[in-house]
Amino acid sequence: MSTQTTDRQALDQLCVNTIRTLSMDAVQKANSGHPGTPMALAPVAYVLYTRIMRHHPGNPGWPDRDRFVLSAGHASMLLYSMLYLCGYGLTLDDLKSFRQLGSPTAGHPEYGHAAGIETTTGPLGQGISTAGGMALAERMLAARFNRGHTVVDHHTYVIASDGDMQEGIQSEAASLAGHLGLGRLIAFYDDNHISIEGDTALAFSEDVGARYEAYGWHVRNLGEDIELDRLEQAVAEAKEVEDRPSLIVVRTHIAQGAPNKQDTAGAHGAPLGEEEIRLTKEAYGWPPDEHFLVPDEVLSHFGECRERGEGWEREWRERMDGLAADDPDAHAEYTRISQRRLPDGWERDVPRFHVDTGMVATRKSSGEVIQWAAGAVPELVGGSADLAGSTLTLIDGAESVQRGAYGGRNLHFGIREHGMGAFVNGLTLHYLRAYGATFLIFSDYMKAAIRLAALMRIPSIFVFTHDSIGLGEDGPTHQPVEQLAALRATPNCNLVRPAGANEVALAWQFAIASTETPTCFALSRQGVPTWNPAGVPRDAIRRGAYVLRESYKEGDPDLILMGSGSEVHIANAAADRLEADGIATRLVSVPCMDTFAEQDAAYRDSVLPPGCRARLAIEAASPLSWYRWVGDAGDVIGMETFGASGPQKALYEHFGFTPDNVVARARKVVSG
């Protein structure tokens, strides 16, 4: 063995041990965290960042960078150590403030907290599933823009844990990724045999590699052979398999090198302890009393990542220049999309529906508005969980995205709501404007992905139809009752339940214009009347609520009826009768309670004047969301039980969503 080779190996080992000791020290200083997995995976992360990934720490947002997703988010110190060492902007002080309030080094990687964090990976299974959406976006953009010049050409790398492999969402996403042949997706499975309760054999004994082969993945099991050159070779082999995603299985040892805690559950979710850290550092040949030590030669070596990144980006810009010369429109379009800018004037000509449109389900009017939106915003893509015929979310004239044919816009997620939610987030993170559709009841399956979209402040779009007991005969298992309240309770998430076609059109405009907030649509199966478009203000969704029908007298009304969706029309019929009886009634449509709550007090009071305490809300769902707006003197007609199986009209009558019941309850409110 040459001296040069020996020196290189020594430097490699020094770098790997630096990652390990930084992770140990940060967790110990915080007295909280997961040290064992970063110690075990340090060789994998080191090889990825210094030998394999095309990335540029000097420009973390370079569009053609390789993406890295630490799906095992509890091992966050592994990622933070890499971002610090490579020069992404984290400092040694940031590592020392691991898990502290206000620090960018949170307990799990949080998108937007530090450069180089590509997605939030808290709930296990979400990271590898979101990475599938990223890998699909890369293929879809490549199909559109690699016109003689390869300007979209990168991979998505993942490190996943035993916990990821046990979560159901991962199975759905892996199945879809294999079906679509996403060869640019390469995942490492850290098979360390340890979870919080002990050896994974307590609850997990399946052959993960065989399962992934059945999904259509290329699988390579390295066992305990995770020598750096072998890891690099395994990735090179995976990259050669262009028509299948790849899973590289590595058998690691949690808390590698810790004399008393290696391969123990105690090293998973708790600091090693000062004495064990000293012993471990001695085993590494590390100064045992040094904390957060980073040798100069290690920083110098990692600094080469920036130099290589500059070269890769320079080559890419040359290819972009070639595209600009040969196809300036494609160059301009890709530049716009990668900068997350919408087309100039896209919001012009928002559809308007007139009264003579008649009774139309809001899911149907949404299907019409999607065609306008797709024409105005070319990066809008989406699909459903095998419910396109019910959610009406196909883009007319667009091709379906299939294995090896990624140039279309219609996605088919199969009956995989969990996976669909994560894929939509991955597509959205990777420059596309994506939506996924299913019935509102199945938003329960997608709740974690919706929550992560809200937490990451990304504008994913989730289209939910069959929004109430009005779906009828399918019965209470399919009739959403508590889902609207749950989505409204999610911070930074806008739930829009339109009362008619014109609110639907404005809702799509609002969702596409959003930059930091996901939008959830709740759309009806049953037909509803179409309001005069002049009565629906252009800012109806942005303001969240508005006066749809004013009372017959000046000043405060005697009664305010309010609601969302289908029930606004029931309230309107009741208002006719109430006003005929001399009760001055204002009707308020509340398509988006979330944005209404954000308005200033002056606007809210103009819609719901404090002087009118007689208020009645109507919604065929849990009443919880409405109590804030009706006040102590008001009332809510909602669903206090599950639904039932029967025709829509019979169900609405049975549960009291009729003009007769609204009138009766309104009179009680007015009489006090």
Alpha carbon distance 454, 443 (integer Å): 14
Residue with the two structure tokens 């902007």: 89
Pinpoint the alpha helices (H) of 482-531: 483-488, 501-513
Residues 6+ apart with CB under 8 A from 617: 561, 562, 563, 623, 626, 629, 630, 634, 635, 636, 637, 638
Which residue(s) pair with 158 in the sheet? 69, 187
Alpha carbon distance 272, 282 (integer Å): 14
566 within 8 A of 468, measured Cβ to Cβ: yes
Measured torsion, CA atoms of residues 176, 180, 185, 191, in degrees rounded to the nearest 10: 40
Residues of 288-298 as b/e, b for ≥16 C-beta within 10 angstroms? eeeeeebeeeb
Query: Closest Cα to residue 394, out of 354, 429, 437, 357?
Result: 437
Alpha carbon distance 672, 614 (integer Å): 8
Alpha carbon distance 20, 43 (integer Å): 9
Alpha carbon distance 209, 221 (integer Å): 7
Which contacts (CB < 8 Å, 24+ apart) does range 322-325 have? 322/148, 322/149, 323/145, 323/147, 323/148, 323/149, 323/151
Question: What amino acid is encoded at 620 in this protein?
Answer: A
81 within 8 A of 69, measured Cβ to Cβ: no
CA geometry: angle 241, 244, 246, nearest 5 deg? 80
For residue 267, which phi and psi values (nearest 5 degrees)? -90, 0
Here the tokens at position 659 are 């003009």
Query: Closest Cα to residue 519, out of 485, 488, 543?
Result: 488
Which residue(s) pair with 383 in the sheet? 411, 436
Displacement of CA 36 from its chain's centroid (Å) = 28
Judged by DSSP in three states, 206 sits in: coil
Judged by DSSP in three states, 67 sits in: strand
Query: Closest Cα to residue 383, out of 431, 428, 434, 458?
Result: 434
Query: Closest Cα to residue 574, out of 563, 561, 564, 565?
Result: 561
Which residue(s) pair with 382 in the sheet? 410, 435
Judged by DSSP in three states, 616 sits in: strand
Ranges assigned E (strand) in 266-308:
none
Is 417 part of the annotated catalytic residue set? yes
Here the tokens at position 667 are 């009179």
Here the tokens at position 637 are 């007609």
Query: Closest Cα to residue 487, out of 519, 509, 460, 465?
Result: 519
Displacement of CA 587 from its chain's centroid (Å) = 35
Task: Single out the catalytic residue among 379, 417, 567, 619.
Answer: 417
Judged by DSSP in three states, 609 sits in: coil
Here the tokens at position 572 are 């309107």
Residue with the two structure tokens 């549960």: 655
Residues serving a catalytic function are 417
